[in-house]
Amino acid sequence: MRTPVDAGLDPRGERASAGQDLFAPSAWERWKGVKEKVARLVFLGMTLALVLPVVVIVGYLIFRAWPVLSLSFLLENPRNYMTAGGIWAPLVGTFCLVFFSLLVAAPIGILAGVYLNEYARDNWLTRIINLAVMNLAGVPSIVHGLFGVGAFVMFAHMGRSVLAAACTLAVMSLPVIITSTREALGAVPMAFREACWNVGASRWQTVRTIVLPNSISGMLTGVIFEVSRAAGETAPILFTGAVFFAPVPDHGWASLFPYGPGDRCMALSMHLFTLATQVRDAPESIQYGTAVVLMGLILAVNGLSIGLRTYLRSRKRW
């Protein structure tokens, strides 16, 4: 066993004979240890400074919304100029909008992702497409709203309608779906594709039989994530189809599918905005209730997407 003398810390054996423990930290080392602990605490503090306010705020919202939260709140229509009742119409409106927008965006986005990952060569066109996807992702939501008004409401003569709003949301959703599709496709190892090419399968056959089946779950995660994002958007639908008040039947079959493609609709995000800014005497609990339902809906769908992603990681087939 090496002694401190052998380790060179105490060549003449002086400190050892004086009874000092030579591997104990020196003053300088102790100071460094203190700095390290302080730094760790500072960073922890920064993280908590983010996390805690949000937890507190979310808790406060739920607390203020509690008197109003119930099943009937979800299932009733707003009454009495929105000062009473529930949020059924906006809830259904949001579902309609998100559903139609993904009906358009998902096929285009997924196929675009397939193109970019499987077919695109390394040339200037591909670089421009990548740049376009990045910029589409960065366009402010109100500019998407302006585009929706200019292109869908006016130019395509859809008027302010569910269709126009859904198309606007679809263009907004495209970059996220493209990116998540590319990630899902990229997770399939290149070796599989090469093995398929070498036995005479064409590119499309390889994609259809090996790549797509093994990445469809990743793509689904991306689409679900986009659902949660699209449900919360207000600016794109503000002028393209969502309105202040669009009554729907209270019960019966029509109350489940009240909005056709040409109708104007209510939406949960717009409803919250309206309640907070344009409705006099809207009870605060209803406002908090709407905010909590919207947030809860989005967090639930987002949680579903995260959960699906975690589940898939444990189920890899290679």
Partner 1 sequence: MKSIDPMRREGEADGTDPAGTAAQPACAAPVRPRRFGLRWLWAARVRAWRWLVRFLRAALEPVIEWTIRLCGWSAILFVVAIFVFVFYWASHALWGGLDLVEFFTSPNWRPTSDVRPQYGILALMVGTLSVTVLAMAIAVPLGLGAAVYISEFCSGRPKETLKVVVELLAAIPSVVWGFIGYMVLGPIIMDLTGAPVGVSLLNAGVVLALMSVPIIVSVGEDALKAVPDSYREAALAMGASRWEVVYRVLFPAAKNGLLAAVLLGVGRAIGETMAVLLCSGHAIQIPHSVLDPVRTLTATIAAELGETVEGEMHYSVLFLIGLVLFAVTFVVNLIADLVVKGIRRENAG
Partner 2 sequence: MDAHIRFNQVSVRYGARPALGDLSLEIPKNEVFGIIGPANSGKTTLLKCINRTIDFVSSARVTGHVLVGGEDVYRIRNVCSLRRRVGMVFPLPVGLPLSVYENVAYAPRRAGVYGRRELDALVETCLRQAMLWDEVKDRLRMLGTRLSGGQQQRLTLARALSHRPEILCLDEFSIAIDPVTTMKIEDILRELKQQMTIVLVTNLVQQARRLADRTAFLSGGRLIEVDQTEKLFEHPAERLTERYVNGDFG
Task: Report in angstroms how near the CB of residue 67 gets to partner 1 at its nearest.
Answer: 15
- The one of partner 2, partner 1, none whose footprint includes residue 317, by CB under 5 to 8 A per kind, is partner 2
User: What is the per-residue burial (b if ≥16 Cβ within 10 Å, else e) of 171-207?
Assistant: bbbbbbbbbbbbbbbeebeeeebeebeeeebeeeebb
**For 109-164, what is the HEC assignment?**
HHHHHHHHHHHCCCCHHHHHHHHHHHHHHHCCHHHHHHHHHHHHHHHCCCCCCHHH
Question: Any contact of residue 117 with partner 2 (CB under 8 A)?
Answer: no
Is the Cβ of residue 92 or residue 178 nearer to partner 1 in the bound state?
A: 178
Question: Any contact of residue 196 with partner 2 (CB under 8 A)?
Answer: yes
Q: How far is CA 221 from the centre of its chain?
A: 10
Is the Cβ of residue 107 or residue 262 nearer to partner 1 in the bound state?
A: 107
Question: Any contact of residue 216 with partner 2 (CB under 8 A)?
Answer: no
Nearest by Cα to 299 from 44, 61, 52: 61
Applying CB under 8 A, which of residues 201, 212, 295, 304 lies at the interface with partner 2? 201
Is the Cβ of residue 122 or residue 281 nearer to partner 2 in the bound state?
A: 122
Applying CB under 8 A, which of residues 214, 228, 274, 305 lies at the interface with partner 2? 214
SS3 call for 27:
helix
Is the Cβ of residue 200 or residue 252 nearer to partner 2 in the bound state?
A: 200
Task: Report in angstroms how near the CB of residue 118 gets to partner 2 at its nearest.
Answer: 11
Residue pair 169/95 in contact (Cβ under 8 Å)? The answer is no
Is the Cβ of residue 53 or residue 189 nearer to partner 1 in the bound state?
A: 53
- Chain residues 164-193 in contact with partner 2, contact rule CB under 8 A: 191-192
Question: Any contact of residue 199 with partner 2 (CB under 8 A)?
Answer: yes
Side chain identity, residue 182: R
Count the Cβ atoms, other than its own, within 10 Å of residue 66: 13
Is the Cβ of residue 187 or residue 308 nearer to partner 2 in the bound state?
A: 187
Side chain identity, residue 240: T
Question: Which own/partner pairs from 77-81 qualify as long-range (CB within 8 Å, at least 24 positions apart)?
Answer: 77/247, 77/248, 77/250, 78/245, 78/271, 81/279
Is the Cβ of residue 16 or residue 139 nearer to partner 1 in the bound state?
A: 139
Task: Report in angstroms how near the CB of residue 78 gets to partner 1 at its nearest.
Answer: 17
Applying CB under 8 A, which of residues 41, 195, 300, 306 lies at the interface with partner 2? 195
Residue range at the interface with partner 2 (CB under 8 A); choices 150-158, 200-208, 275-283, 303-311? 200-208
For the chain, the helix, strand and coil percentages under 3-state DSSP, each to the nearest 5: 70, 0, 30
Contact positions toward partner 2, by CB under 8 A? 121-123, 191-192, 194-202, 205, 209-210, 214, 317-318
